[in-house]
Amino acid sequence: MTKSLTEKKRVRWAPPSAVRDLSEIQSKQLAAKKDPYQNFAEKVRDNKQLKSRWAIMQETRVEYFRGKDFPVFLRDHPEVKEILGPDKDLDAEDIIYTLLTKNLIVRSDRVVKTVRPGKKKLSSWPAHLEIHTDQSFSKDDSFFAWTFMKRRALWQTILSFLWPLVALAMCLFPVYPYQVKIVVLYSCAGALLFIVAMLLIRAAAFGTLYVILGKRIWFFPNINAEETTFRDLIRFWPKKEGCDQPPKWTARLFYAAVSILVILLLRHHAPDEAARARYQTKVSNIIDEMLEWSPKLALSGMLEKQQAVVNGTEGRRIIDGARSSDVEGAEAVSGDGVEENV
């Protein structure tokens, strides 16, 4: 590849074309006929060996990879380039340029370009991106986002049909048998208790290490991530991306004092035994009422109420009839007395 040809490829796109809507690009890709580079892009995107993350770009969630990882991926997996056919001998820069011209990827740049307080360098995987004005290949802090719709896997299609059934099953929980209600209730309560306990222990461990050792260590760092793989979700120890500046001893002392104050206030305003017993009884009554409810009891209760209303209406009619007859008899007696006096 000559130097003039390489310089020719490095063209700068105008800002209006650089900020085009990603949804339009995705619709074009669905309508366009697949070519070798389309198949190559899908194959590379589905390959887990190329590290990728999700980010927000133009209010749209996109999947992106780093420019420095792409040449390494092609070097370690040369079989992927066989899809390109005659162009399989092209280098990483030429392939990226072709993908850019076919609107299969778009070069992106990080939105936040300043180092956060306490950090020494920028994050390796930013959470917010914007379209870069220079749509060319670069290994230095460059990111490339996929612009086409990813092919949905079979299990995802099956789950999309199962979610309405799950929602319907949740709505029909009141009519379940008592034993099934017990299983569902204790399973959900146990899962919720496990999550809350893990988050509290995680926060307590972070606070303890922060105050005593001055280390910012979050166990299960991706437990609150919106989009992550299962392997990253269950990873216990966080990856160290850079040397963080240790916090000042004044800040550590301040947070320790605030934590002690909060614990003392919670202990001082904690409910007594009588209040806890009342709360427990109230919650138990609510749970028992929910578990013991059934359609038969509801229908029988409605019938009893309806019968009580009918009986009450008939009773009022009888009473009203008796009162009207008494009034007529009294009027008749008073009329006879008047005639006799006359």
| Residues linked to residue 228 through DSSP beta bridges, in sequence order | none
- pLDDT at position 320 is 57
DSSP state letter for 89 = G
Q: H or E element: which one contains 144?
A: strand 143-146
pLDDT value of position 288:
82
The residues that bridge with 145 in the sheet, in sequence order, are 64, 106
Report CA dihedral (119, 121, 126, 130) to the nearest 10 degrees. 120
Distances (CA, A) of 9 to 134, 139, 192, 236: 11, 16, 55, 44
Do 103 and 41 contact (CB within 8 A), yes or no? no
Q: What pLDDT is stored for residue 220 in this prediction?
A: 81
Give the single-character DSSP code of 107: E
Residue carrying structure tokens 């916090």 = 247
Q: Which residues contact 229 (CB under 8 A, 6 or more apart)?
A: none
The set of residues, in sequence order, having a beta carbon less than 8 Å from that of 329 and lying 6+ positions away, is none
Find, among 57, 61, 44, the residue nearest to 18 by Cα. 57
- CA dist 130 and 106 (Å) reads 10
Start-to-end CA span in the chain (Å)? 138
Domain locations along the chain: 3-146, 178-270
pLDDT in tens, 115-169: 877 677 888 888 899 999 888 888 888 899 999 887 777 777 888 889 899 899 8
What is the token pair recorded at 186? Answer: 């204790």
pLDDT at 106: 93
In which residue ranges of the chain is pLDDT below 50? 1-19, 30-32, 309-310, 327, 333, 337-339, 341-342
The pLDDT of residue 187: 93
Q: What's the pLDDT at 197?
A: 92
Alpha carbons 38 and 260: distance in angstroms, whole number = 59
Output the pTM of the full model.
0.52
CA quadruple 97, 99, 103, 107: dihedral positive or negative?
negative
- DSSP three-state, residue 64: strand
pLDDT at site 4: 41
Amino acid sitting at position 35: D
